[in-house]
């Protein structure tokens, strides 16, 4: 069976096609037969489409007026020319979408109906940079592929079982009744990494206390016990928690009141500052990219050094918070772009937890590990670097749901 996955960001659209057996799902991720990504950050009104299939890699400049037209061009590479991997769109059995925010409505992957689309739309104020892009992808598939089954896999779903005392904010109770609470995000990644850790260690997931560190441009931690997320650092929106690439993470909310009163900041200005001009980018004045921060430090840039020190401090602090919630720790996991590739971040994060008996093997840490335990043999806590496979996790959900539809 053919499963198409769309993973939309605020300024990108990633997609891939898996070819799977209808009778058995592999335990380990397999390579998709086609991969594509549109990057809309290059210049206004232009997208760069990169396609990989049949051992070919192509780059195409897109000049369409609407992103939906770009998505159509991306999908056409499935059935045309050198990148062709299927004869017709009708060969695709099911389509899965990563959807950032599902609110309290969805605790698992769900077939997309008009009602589900309406909910995703209603939740745009809580994920304004992402939910519109998800709807755009869903509607593009409706236009191009017709009535093919579509599935929403929600980033919030894995955190659905967080206890209310961990999810509620200490503001008047009436706001909890109005669904202002911690939702958590990156759930697809946190859930995948927890399952993969159990496989790597050959232990039941239900026997492990884990902290998963999803460190990319967006960053979040999850405390996972018995395979269930019991706390996480992102909250009502993806802005809360750790310092990130361009997001501030948690700050004193009175700062916002002060900026509004004394500097006449509007909600739009505050949103732009906190989500797009803060974090590593805001402090360093260089970039949201950790690699650029490292280069700045080499060149003696004090702001770059401050940005890294703040990033590490907040990471350590919130690992400590998750540790307290779990009441112990068996496995510390690093994943996503920074977590998987920045050895110095992993080293600095682990330094503060030697009192637990956690010991990092420096040689393993610096050897570009993938799905590997980088703790020393005598470490009381296992330290894993796991390559997150969100697209594969979405494909797995689609496979299971497809069996129900037949």
Q: Is 385 helix (H, G, I), strand (E, B) or coil?
A: strand
**Integer angstrom CA distances of residue 336 from 150, 230, 328, 343, 374:** 26, 21, 24, 13, 16
Cβ proximity of 167 and 222 under 8 Å: no
Please list, residue by residue across 298-334, b when 16 or more beta carbons sit within 10 angstroms of its beta carbon and e when fewer do: eeebeebeebbebbbebbbebbebbbebbeebbbbbb
**Which of 39, 70, 91, 155 does the annotation list as catalytic?**
155
Q: Where are the alpha helices (DSSP H) in 126-266?
A: 131-145, 164-167, 173-177, 187-201, 254-263
Sort strands 209-215 and 12-19 into parallel, antiparallel or unpaired: unpaired
- The answer to whether 155 is a known catalytic residue is yes
Closest CA to 85 of 208, 3, 164: 3
Strands 209-215, 46-53: pairing kind: unpaired
What proportions of the chain, in percent to the nearest 5, are helix, strand and coil?
40, 20, 35
Active site residues: 155
């Amino acid at each position: 069976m053919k499963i198409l996955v769309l993973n939309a960001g605020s300024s990108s659209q990633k997609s891939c096609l898996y070819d799977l057996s209808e009778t058995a799902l592999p335990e380990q991720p397999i390579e998709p037969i086609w991969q594509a990504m549109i990057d809309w950050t290059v210049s206004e009104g232009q997208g760069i489409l990169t396609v990989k299939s049949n051992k070919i890699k192509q780059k195409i400049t897109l000049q369409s007026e609407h992103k939906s037209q770009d998505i159509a061009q991306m999908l056409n590479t499935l059935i045309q020319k050198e990148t062709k991997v299927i004869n017709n769109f009708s060969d695709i059995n099911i389509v899965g979408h990563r959807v950032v925010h599902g609110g309290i409505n969805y605790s698992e992957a769900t077939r997309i109906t008009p009602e589900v689309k309406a909910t995703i739309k209603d939740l745009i104020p809580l994920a304004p940079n992402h939910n519109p892009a998800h709807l755009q992808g869903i509607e593009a598939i409706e236009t191009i592929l017709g009535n093919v089954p579509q599935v929403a896999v929600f980033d919030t779903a894995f955190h659905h079982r967080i206890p209310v005392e961990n999810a509620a904010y200490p503001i008047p109770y009436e706001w909890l009744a109005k669904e202002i609470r911690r939702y958590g995000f990156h759930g697809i990644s946190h859930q995948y990494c927890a399952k993969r850790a159990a496989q790597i260690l050959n232990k039941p997931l239900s026997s492990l206390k884990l902290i998963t560190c999803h460190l990319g441009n967006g960053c979040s931690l999850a405390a996972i016990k018995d395979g269930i997320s019991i706390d996480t650092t992102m909250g009502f929106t993806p802005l809360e928690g750790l310092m990130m690439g361009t997001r501030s993470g948690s700050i004193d909310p009175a700062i916002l009141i002060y900026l509004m009163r004394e500097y006449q900041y509007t909600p739009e200005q505050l949103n732009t500052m906190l989500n797009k001009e803060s974090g590593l980018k805001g402090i360093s004045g260089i970039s949201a990219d950790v690699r650029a921060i490292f280069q700045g430090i080499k060149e003696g840039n004090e702001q770059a050094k401050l940005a890294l020190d703040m990033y590490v401090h907040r990471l350590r602090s919130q690992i400590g918070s998750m540790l307290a919630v779990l009441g112990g720790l068996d496995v510390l996991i690093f994943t996503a772009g920074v977590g998987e590739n920045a050895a110095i971040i992993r080293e600095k994060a682990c330094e503060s937890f030697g009192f637990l008996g956690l010991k990092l093997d420096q040689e393993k840490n610096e050897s570009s590990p993938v799905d590997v335990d980088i703790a020393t043999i005598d470490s009381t806590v296992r330290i894993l670097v796991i390559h997150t496979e969100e697209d594969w996790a979405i494909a797995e959900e689609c496979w299971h749901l497809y069996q129900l539809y037949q």
